[in-house]
């Protein structure tokens, strides 16, 4: 079903036929700065994952935005994008929420990816308060994007494309595995 936006008399955006997956853009210059940070960061150790998820992740904390200009710029653009999401899906913003303090830059090698169907919210302390997921593709990789199981949606990896969606099982997803490298930055909006 196609997405239709309508402006009401109160200037509230109403979404009909939505799958609650919001796509927009962030500056590719910001993406380039994040890639450089990922490649050149020496004070944090990257963690390699193999198995259902095959990636090399740089785990980050919001506090780093105080000293790393590229993270500060990105998070400011991300806040703008989140505001857009909350304007369109007003009820998502009715609960008190904020960026989770931890987030990641993840690089998937050729043949890598988050290969299994999964969702972002669970029973564990670290993920039970997740409300929304955000992700920005830092590289172009048309065949290595993200597919959503129940929405029958595929989003190709396009540098700067930023996607926000609900963290629950309704938005079960996985990364599509391909022959080229892909890098993303991703994290969550948690309920307070």
Q: Look at residue 65 and tell me if it is in a domain.
A: yes
pLDDT in tens, the chain (192 residues): 333 334 333 344 555 668 999 999 999 999 999 999 999 999 999 999 999 999 999 999 999 999 999 999 999 999 999 999 999 999 998 888 999 999 999 999 999 999 999 999 988 988 899 999 999 999 999 899 999 999 999 999 999 999 999 999 999 999 999 999 999 999 999 998
pTM of the prediction?
0.90
| CATH number of the domain that residue 61 is part of | 2.60.120.620
The pLDDT value given to residue 7: 37
Closest to 108 (Cα-Cα) out of 191, 38, 162: 38
Q: Look at residue 173 and tell me if it is in a domain.
A: yes
Q: Look at residue 92 and tell me if it is in a domain.
A: yes
**Containing domain of residue 185, as a range?**
20-191
Q: Look at residue 15 and tell me if it is in a domain.
A: no
The pLDDT value given to residue 16: 60
Q: Look at residue 7 and tell me if it is in a domain.
A: no
Domain count for the chain, please give it. Answer: 1
Q: Look at residue 89 and tell me if it is in a domain.
A: yes
Q: Look at residue 62 and tell me if it is in a domain.
A: yes
Q: Look at residue 13 and tell me if it is in a domain.
A: no
């Amino acid at each position: 079903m196609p997405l239709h936006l309508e402006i009401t008399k109160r200037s509230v955006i109403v979404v009909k036929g939505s799958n609650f997956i919001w796509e927009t853009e962030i500056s590719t210059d910001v993406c380039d700065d994040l890639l450089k940070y990922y490649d050149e960061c020496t004070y944090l150790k990257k963690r390699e994952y193999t198995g259902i998820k095959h990636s090399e992740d740089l785990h980050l904390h919001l506090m780093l935005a105080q000293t790393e200009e590229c993270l500060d710029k990105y998070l400011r653009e991300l806040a703008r994008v989140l505001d857009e999401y909350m304007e369109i899906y007003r009820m998502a913003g009715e609960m008190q929420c904020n960026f989770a303090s931890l987030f990641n830059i993840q690089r998937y090698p050729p043949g890598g990816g988050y290969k299994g169907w999964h969702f972002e919210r669970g029973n564990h302390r670290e993920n039970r308060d997740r409300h929304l997921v955000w992700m920005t593709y830092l590289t172009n990789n048309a065949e290595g994007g993200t597919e959503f199981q129940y929405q029958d949606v595929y989003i190709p990896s396009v540098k700067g494309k930023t996607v926000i969606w609900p963290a629950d099982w309704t938005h079960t997803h996985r990364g599509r595995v391909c022959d080229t490298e892909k890098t993303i930055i991703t994290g969550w909006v948690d309920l307070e």
